[in-house]
Amino acid sequence: MAVRILSRLVLPEIKGAAFASSAAAPATLSDFDVQHKTPVIRKQQLIPKAQYGGRHAVTMLPGGGIGPECMGYVRDIFKYIGAPVDFEVVDIDPNVDNDDDVQYAITTIKRNGVGIKGNIETKSEAAYVTSRNVALRNELDMYAYVLNCKSFPGVCTRHKDIDITIIRQNTEGEYAMLEHESVRGVIESMKVVTASNSERVARFAFEFAKKNGKKKVTTVHKANIMKLSDGLFLETSRRLAKEYPEIEHNDMIIDNCCMQLVAKPHQFDVMLMTNLYGSIVSNVVCGLLGGAGLLSGRNYGDHYAVFEPGTRNTGTAIAGKNVANPIAMINASIDMLEHLGHHYHAELLRRAVHRTVNEDRVLTPDCGGTASSTDVVNSIIGNIGQVGH
């Protein structure tokens, strides 16, 4: 099963883990190589991957708002630590009414295998212009979104020591973008839930829990109202849970889930949900941990991976003011380095970020600090020299 193979992909912390497929790949392969040398489910016309002399080419999509400045910080840090990554920068015009820029971006990700992105605006209100972000995920079949939500000791929050992983179905549900006006003044929007994608993401979640030593998976749904669509997703999760008796499985209705997250977040371990609920819950948990500027998210498919800030916010209101929190984008770049197999550089940068946020407490205003964006970046660069010894 593809998701069994991907269970190692979503496990950068455990090195040398055995593959669950019958045709096991060598344990020395990086996550990048695993993803591209063992494709299983969807057959695509794959473009040869760009990799030269141990260096990786990565598609960089700055997006809108604070994206370009945060990407600039990532490039500066990578240059400082000598990360073996070459960025292919692709700008997508949010004002045009065609998908030419998006299709070019998709081609570069297919060529490079990996991307890092800010949130991409879609300003056109024309019905035939799809969301750029959704188009990327759908065209590349990145069906699983992973958001690791772990407390930062240096950030003052009501709840401490939260450690939750959100796994979100990433390509269907309400995000299928199938709407029409059946009669004048009546709009119908289709929510698409399929058995195949429900099973893929559910198995992904249980394999993630198994390999990471997680004890419980909670399926979030609204099957009491949407009995067919959410009912299918819930029943698929329950069926797969029987294959993992060592992992506790329960389910929770989405509205109660949001209340429980705010009141008693420590009851959750791994949370599995459909697309729209994942968007809502991700933002709730990010708010509990200190805001939109800290956590990073990972989009995974069988062939491609794209890394981005966890809440997918553009931050247009604070763009260019040197107050945006760069930590989420930097954390996304750490995830990307792990995925590519550059563990030394990833760990070096992770330790520098930890010292900046949790020990030195150099924080931007959104986290209760007074530091500017460049103050945070300079602190991280300064700490790289100290943690590297």
Contact 261, 281 (CB under 8 A): yes
Distances (CA, A) of 315 to 37, 172, 207, 281: 37, 25, 34, 19
353 and 257 part of one domain: no
Predicted TM-score of the model (pTM): 0.84
Say yes or no: 176 and 76 in one domain. Answer: no
Are residues 284 and 308 both part of a single domain?
Answer: no
Last residue of a domain, one of 289, 322, 355: 289
Which pLDDT belongs to residue 23?
36
**Overall number of domains in the chain:** 2
Report if residue 225 sits inside a domain. Answer: yes
Query: For residue 197, what pLDDT band results from cuts at 50, 70 and 90?
Result: very high
The residue that leads in pLDDT, 362 or 174, is 362
Inside any domain, residue 226: yes
Residue 115 has pLDDT above 80, yes or no: yes
- Would the pLDDT of 129 be above 70? no
Q: What is the pLDDT of residue 120?
A: 84
CATH number at residue 63: 3.40.718.10
pLDDT of 159: 95
Q: Check whether residue 163 and residue 285 sit in a common domain.
A: yes
Secondary structure letter of residue 118 according to DSSP: -
Residue 3 predicted with pLDDT over 70: no
Query: Is residue 272 one of the residues assigned to a domain?
Result: yes
Residue 150 lies in a domain: no
Are 281 and 181 part of one and the same domain?
Answer: yes
- CB distance 307 to 339 below 8 Å: yes
Q: Which of 169-183, 314-328, 346-360 has the highest mean pLDDT?
A: 346-360
pLDDT score for 351: 96
Q: pLDDT tens across 281-311, in order?
A: 999 999 999 988 999 999 999 999 999 998 8
Rounded to an integer, the average pLDDT of 154-160 is: 94
Same domain, yes or no: 51 and 78:
yes
**Do 239 and 280 belong to one domain?**
yes
* Cα dihedral across residues 222, 224, 225, 228: positive or negative: positive
Looking at the fold, whether 220 and 336 belong to one and the same domain comes out as no
What percent of the chain clears pLDDT 70, i.e. is strictly above it? 84
Among 289, 318, 341, which residue terminates a domain?
289
Q: Is a pLDDT exceeding 60 seen at residue 161?
A: yes
Provide the mean pLDDT of the chain: 86
| Three-class DSSP category at 29 | coil
Residues 232 and 267 in one domain: yes
Same domain for 330 and 207?
no
pLDDT category at 31 given cuts 50, 70, 90 is: low
Helix 373-387 crosses helix 67-81 at what angle (to 10 degrees)?
Answer: 20
The amino acid occupying position 145 is Y
Domain boundary pick from 255, 289, 323: 289
* pLDDT, average across residues 214-237: 97
The proportion of the chain whose per-residue pLDDT surpasses 90, expressed as a percent, equals: 69
Instruction: List % helix, strand, coil for the chain (3-state, nearest 5).
Output: 40, 20, 40
For residue 16, the model assigns a pLDDT of 35
Structural domain contains residue 3: no
Indicate whether 272 and 301 sit together in one domain: no
Same domain, 264 and 166: yes
Rounded to whole angstroms, the Cα distance separating 38 from 305 reads 14
In a domain, 190, yes or no: yes
Host domain of residue 85 = 47-122+130-145+295-388
Average pLDDT over residues 256-276: 97
Reported as a single tens digit per residue, the pLDDT across 44-103 is: 555 555 555 678 999 999 988 999 999 999 999 999 999 999 999 999 887 777 778 889
Is 54 domain-assigned? yes
In a domain, 325, yes or no: yes
